[in-house]
Amino acid sequence: MMGRFAPLRGETLTLSSSIKMVDGYTMPRFGIGAWDMRGAECKQALLNAFDKVGYRHVDTARYYKCEAECGQAVRECSVPRSQLFYTTKVYLNELGGGAKTRAAVEDSLAVAGLEYLDLVLVHAPDGGTQFRLDSWATLSELVEEGKVRSLGISNFGTHHIEELINSKPKVLPVCNQIECHPFFAQKEVRTASEKHSIIVQAYCPLARGQYYGDATLGKVAKETGKTEAQVMLRWLVQHGIVALPKSSNPKRQAENAECLSFELSDEQMKELDSLDRGDKGWVEVQTQSQHCK
């Protein structure tokens, strides 16, 4: 299945290439994740990504404890703020709606030193129906106030997506960030997301290297003259999925971005599609939240 947000065959892609979201704003097709980056390392890694490699999209979270450094990089780099896409997430301990959820987002703004957040995600669906809907209602108020531009979800299963859409929210979700890679393709969740014009973002897009050495992956890498990581990332790109690989290594940042400069054939895509192991393929424990009630 080629996703509804997939690029055209032969389309030239760069780190500035974007997808139009359901709310009218645009999201860069490729980004860099800030998970497990801390202090000066985080700031320097992002400055390199923005100024030297050309990234325009950074994904962080309150849970990551690096919003200050991410915000510093956004403010201090040479790229105009209007050309950068900044995402953060609110975790379960600050969800549930009301003053607690509002304070979390306002703190994210203050800590990062930004006037607005491009995208705020509900980090996980745990907590029950009312908990989720109350969280969304408060976050929607922050969109209406201009503090946040777009809202999204993360680790949401198909039933969570339908629940939110059926509640007829004032603000529609623009994306669902999930673990996704050839070995955990998430076809059902991707279909449910795209049915409602929800872009799929992929965290752990390289499965932490767990599947490097797979025969099929290696075969395609050899055929294309690319690394296994680049092949995995390109598979996501061609499915219209926004990949968010994390790297503080300048060379690796550039190598990851090279996935935008080549194409996989239809046959190679089918071979990679065949690697899906279903729920046996996931590597991140938070993925289990997709199955919560």
- Rounded to the nearest 10°, the torsion over CA 98, 99, 101, 104 is 170
In the Cβ-directed half-sphere of 284, how many Cα atoms lie within 13 Å?
22
Spell out the residues 6+ positions from residue 215 whose beta carbon is closer than 8 angstroms to its own: none
Q: What is the DSSP-derived secondary structure letter of residue 57?
A: E
**What value, to the nearest 5°, has the Cα angle with vertex 283 and ends 267 and 193?**
65
Strand 57-59 vs strand 18-20: parallel, antiparallel, or unpaired?
Answer: unpaired
Q: How far apart are CA 171 and CA 145, in angstroms?
A: 12
Asked if 142 and 120 touch (Cβ cutoff 8 Å), the reply is yes
Give residue 202's Cα distance to chain centre.
5
Tokens describing residue 215: 């025969």
Coil, helix or strand for 107? helix
**Cβ-based neighbours of 244, under 8 Å, separated by 6 or more:** 31, 32, 33, 57, 59, 177, 201, 202, 203, 205
Task: Give me the active site residues, please.
Answer: 64
Strand pairing of 173-179 and 26-28?
unpaired
Of 77, 63, 78, 143, the closest CA to residue 108 belongs to 63
Q: What is the token pair recorded at 194?
A: 């795209």
Residue 239 known to bind ligand: no
What distance, in Å, lies between the first and last C-alpha atoms of the chain? 28
Q: Would you say the C-alpha torsion 21, 88, 159, 191 has a positive or negative sign?
A: positive
As annotated, the binding site includes 123
As annotated, the binding site for substrate includes 123
